[in-house]
Amino acid sequence: MGRKQQHTNTEVFHAYRYLLFYKPYNVLCQFTNEDLEGSQRQTLKDYIPVSGVYPVGRLDQDSEGLLLLTNHGQLQHRLINPTFHHPRTYWVQVERIPTEEALQQLRQGVVIQGDRTRPAQVRRLEEEPPFPPRDPPIRFRKTVPTAWIEMTLMEGRNRQVRRMTAVIGFPTLRLIRVKIANLSLTGLEPGEWRDITPVELENLRVLCGI
Going by the DSSP 8-state scheme, the letter that residue 184 receives in this structure is E
Predicted confidence at residue 156, as pLDDT, reads 82
* 49 vs 69: CA distance, rounded Å: 12
Q: Do domains 1-85+187-210 and 87-180 have the same CATH topology?
A: yes
Q: Which of 46, 60, 62, 115 is an active site residue?
A: 60
Helices 73-80/198-208 angle, 10° precision: 60
According to the model, what pLDDT value does residue 119 have?
A: 93
> Mean pLDDT per 10-residue run, the chain (210 residues)?
40 77 95 68 93 91 96 88 83 96 96 92 95 83 89 90 96 96 94 96 87
* Cβ pair 70, 53 in contact under 8 A: yes
Q: Give buried/exposed letters for 65-100 (b at 16+ CB in 10 A, else e).
A: bbbbbbbbeebbebbeeeeeebebbbbbbbbeebee
135 is catalytic: no
Any idea where the domains of the chain sit in the sequence? 1-85+187-210, 87-180
Pair 151, 106: CB distance under 8 Å: yes
- Quote the pLDDT of residue 15: 80
Q: Which CATH superfamily is domain 87-180 in?
A: Alpha-L RNA-binding motif (3.30.70.1560)
Q: What is the pLDDT of residue 40?
A: 72
pTM reported for the whole predicted model: 0.88
Any idea which architecture 1-85+187-210 has in CATH? 2-Layer Sandwich (3.30)
